[in-house]
Amino acid sequence: MNTSLLSGLISKFDIDITFNEIVAYGNGLINDTYLVKTLPEGGSDYMLQRKNHKIFKNVPGMMNNIVITTDHIRNQLIASGASEVERKVMTYVASKDGEMFVNDEDGNFWTLFLFIADCQVVDYIQKPEQAFKAAQAFGHFQKQLADLPGELLIETIPNFHNGISRLNDFKTAILNDPAGRVSDHQLQVDKILGRADEMTALQRGLDNKTIPLRITHNDTKINNILFDQEGNTLCIIDLDTVMPGSALYDFGDSIRSLGNKAPEDEPDLTKIEFNEEIYKGFAQGYLSEARSFLSSNELDLLPFSCRYMAWEQAMRFFTDYLNGDTYYKTDYPGHNLVRTLAQIRYLEVLEQNKGIMEDIISRN
């Protein structure tokens, strides 16, 4: 994107800033993000983000969810006398028209939020203590939202973590085989389908209300937490998918990134190993916040949720690969296949560690 287009967009927001430079930022698989550095240096900087409206089909609704959520958390922080509130919750800027986004000529949606300086994002966690803190932050986030009426929020992406609907999408991709890729990967197809009954139990539990619907983050990768320079957690970011969901999604999705010693797109499957110490630290941190509100059924299902999220993500990457790579950004041909194989392998590794994972939850 050229700078004058970006600066034109910024001028539509209800804020008076002089900017110094705009640089591409981060490695999300869906949106495009830019850091807007302002003058004088040392003042507040901002993040400009293009929301992928092919994926987020209702950006105004999504932004409404984000505003309700961040206002709720901000009010709680203020009421509790917290310091540096703007470092602990995301602050979005409204447009001069009073919307929480501006449109460009191509109909894209852009949002602007305050950049939280002097912090770090981590892709890997080395120490159990850090996993403990990350889990406390995600657990605390769920707790902060526990008294927010779910009816206020829309389903940003309908059926986002619904295993039954994801499975149907997968079966449709297999049937239509638009990119002619199915026949080479029958073994992997069978691995996904062979676990369908076990895995769709989560959605059946939500449907029959034995698992409660809560407000959840739904994208709890470790790089969606900001830490300060001392390694303390500051703020949960990437609120695009905050909506009604299951606490199990968030626990499971964190372990999908944290519990794996390799990245989610590791091509060398022998490097994919379970990180027991990190899992333990995360489980202890999460339970220290969430034990007070989780049902006994949810507690029992925490280890299962990790396998569920790996299965679901494997199926999502696989579906995208079979459909000819239309959803996720990819860095090279076959990237979605590499991601799929890595997630399936991780799922198998989690299955091998099922007993250990259950013991850790029951002993904490």
Q: Interface with Mg ion by CB under 5 A: which range of 174-182, 232-240, 259-267, 320-328? A: 232-240
Based on the shown chain and the rule CB under 6 A, indicate whether residue 77 belongs to the binding site for ligand GN1.
Answer: no
Q: Where are the alpha helices (DSSP H) in the chain?
A: 3-10, 59-79, 128-144, 163-176, 186-193, 196-199, 201-207, 247-258, 276-290, 296-322, 335-352, 354-363
Size of the site for Mg ion (CB under 5 A): 2
Tokens 């460009």 label which residue? 104
- Selected binder of Mg ion within 34, 135, 233, 238 (CB under 5 A): 238
Return the axis-axis angle of helices 335-352 and 186-193, rounded to nearest 10°: 50
Name the maximum alpha-carbon separation found in the chain: 60
Q: Which of 306, 311, 295 is nearest to 343 (CA)?
A: 311
Comparison of 29 and 67: residue with beta carbon closer to ligand GN1: 29
Q: CB–CB of 15/3 below 8 Å?
A: no
To Mg ion, the closest distance from the beta carbon of 239 in angstroms equals 9
- Selected binder of ligand GN1 within 203, 260, 313, 340 (CB under 6 A): 313
To ligand GN1, the closest distance from the beta carbon of 4 in angstroms equals 27
Nearest-10 Cα torsion for 299, 315, 213, 136: 50
- Selected binder of ligand GN1 within 15, 19, 28, 53 (CB under 6 A): 28
To ligand GN1, the closest distance from the beta carbon of 256 in angstroms equals 8
Comparison of 219 and 325: residue with beta carbon closer to Mg ion: 219
To Mg ion, the closest distance from the beta carbon of 37 in angstroms equals 23
Scan residues 31-60 and list those touching ligand GN1 (CB under 6 A): 55
- Dist. CA 342–CA 163, nearest whole Å: 19
Helix or strand or coil: residue 332?
A: coil
Comparison of 219 and 250: residue with beta carbon closer to ligand GN1: 219
- Dihedral sign computed on CA atoms, order 165, 169, 174, 176: positive
Comparison of 219 and 312: residue with beta carbon closer to Mg ion: 219
Chain centroid to CA 225: 10
Comparison of 219 and 253: residue with beta carbon closer to Mg ion: 219
- Selected binder of ligand GN1 within 48, 220, 238, 243 (CB under 6 A): 238
Q: Where are the alpha helices (DSSP H) in 50-93?
A: 59-79
- Dist. CA 39–CA 23, nearest whole Å: 15
- Selected binder of ligand GN1 within 29, 35, 122, 148 (CB under 6 A): 29
Based on the shown chain and the rule CB under 5 A, indicate whether residue 219 belongs to the binding site for Mg ion.
Answer: yes
Q: CB–CB of 142/243 below 8 Å?
A: no
To ligand GN1, the closest distance from the beta carbon of 29 in angstroms equals 4
Based on the shown chain and the rule CB under 6 A, indicate whether residue 319 belongs to the binding site for ligand GN1.
Answer: no
Rule CB under 6 A: which residues touch ligand GN1? 28-30, 55, 219, 238, 240-241, 264, 313
Which residues form the interface with Mg ion (CB under 5 A)?
Answer: 219, 238
